[in-house]
Amino acid sequence: MSTRAPAVEARQLIKTYPGDVTALNGMDLTVGAGTVLGLLGPNGAGKSTTVKILTTLARPDSGAATVAGHDVLRHPDRVRRAIGVVAQKSGADPVATGRENLVLQGRLYGMRGAAIQSRADELLDRFDLADAAGRQVKGYSGGMQRRLDVALGLVHRPEVLFLDEPTTGLDPEARTAMWDEISRLAGDEGLTIVLTTHYLEEADRLAERIAIVDRGRIVVEGTPDELKGELRGDAVHMELRTDGDRTAITAVLTGVPGVYEVQADGRRVSVRAEDGAAAVPVLLTALEQAGASVAAATVARPSLDDVYLRYAGRRFSEAEAADGRQTSAPVAAGGPR
């Protein structure tokens, strides 16, 4: 654990919009310096409003926040110098080249001369855009544009980077490439990253800590493993070659150490186990002894969607539908690992 002061701290943020829309309803947030926090929630949960306040683009009705040690309300200019923001909508000039965009961005932050050129080269290299540096951005693929957006956010070497839905709209290959790049940034540069996403899989993969947002506040926060661990253990699903004797199977499996929640129904037998992989051979032996032969067994980890369901009281997809703004993007749950 880092002993540095948190890079982001927000306390009891409240924000309402005209028409009595409560966007934030007591948002509390702490992001450790040099860590990646995933703000995860369905559309309308309040993620963008949180980011707008932290990046000084909106003011809360009440509450307080500091970013990189600066108060967002008292010293917005200092906050702006310390952060990089990669919005959902690209800020790049489509008719300028990738390099021109980077140089212009550097100038906006007061960089000059050789320093700006070498920073542009470094970023073009790092984001695999060196070959395309002299081409107009409007000819870039979606993945290239997104990589340039992230590079633009980093020109002035910010301490905290805000990434709003960094892979929405990207094809799977470009999404994986972007994930690799974000992981590297976090690891190599000690950058603090606040990532908003409605992809469960993205949060699981990139964030050291995940804060699940629902109806304008955090409903639960922890590491991806802590959150999934709250669902206790693995699910082991087994298929029998023939219908089993339910009572006998339940009795024998309930006696296996570390196994609970036994469900037997015809050929299908499911249990929860503290360690699914370790339990499988023991379960198979126990079933054979009870006269049942197993055709197939799978071990699945609980998904973040299960966690979301438990804390928000509804499924991700239900929350988005209820908000009336169904997303076109698929919601990927953390599947078996």
Interface with ligand ADP (CB under 6 A): 17, 21, 23, 41, 43-49
Q: Which is nearer to ligand ADP, 109 or 311 (CB)?
A: 311
Q: How far is the CB of 41 from ligand ADP (least distance, A)?
A: 5
Q: What is the CB neighbour count within 10 angstroms for residue 60?
A: 24
Q: How far is the CB of 213 from ligand ADP (least distance, A)?
A: 6
CB 52 within 8 A of CB 43: no
Q: Which is nearer to ligand ADP, 213 or 238 (CB)?
A: 213
Q: How far is the CB of 39 from ligand ADP (least distance, A)?
A: 8
Residues 6+ apart with CB under 8 A from 215: 22, 25, 45, 46
Q: How far is the CB of 168 from ligand ADP (least distance, A)?
A: 11
Q: Which is nearer to ligand ADP, 26 or 34 (CB)?
A: 26
Element (H, E) at 151: helix 142-154
CA distances from 97 to 128, 138, 144, 292, 315 (A): 15, 9, 12, 67, 43
CB 32 within 8 A of CB 6: yes
CB 211 within 8 A of CB 39: yes
Q: Which is nearer to ligand ADP, 16 or 97 (CB)?
A: 16
Q: How far is the CB of 240 from ligand ADP (least distance, A)?
A: 45
Q: How far is the CB of 127 from ligand ADP (least distance, A)?
A: 25
Q: How far is the CB of 7 from ligand ADP (least distance, A)?
A: 20
Tokens of 101: 């965009």
Q: What is the CB neighbour count within 10 angstroms for residue 80?
A: 19
Q: Which is nearer to ligand ADP, 41 or 334 (CB)?
A: 41
Q: Which is nearer to ligand ADP, 27 or 111 (CB)?
A: 27
CB 143 within 8 A of CB 169: no
Q: Which is nearer to ligand ADP, 124 or 194 (CB)?
A: 194
Q: What is the spatial distance between Cα 199 and Cα 178, in angstroms, rounded to a whole number?
A: 14
Q: Name the β-bridge partners of 40.
A: 197, 212
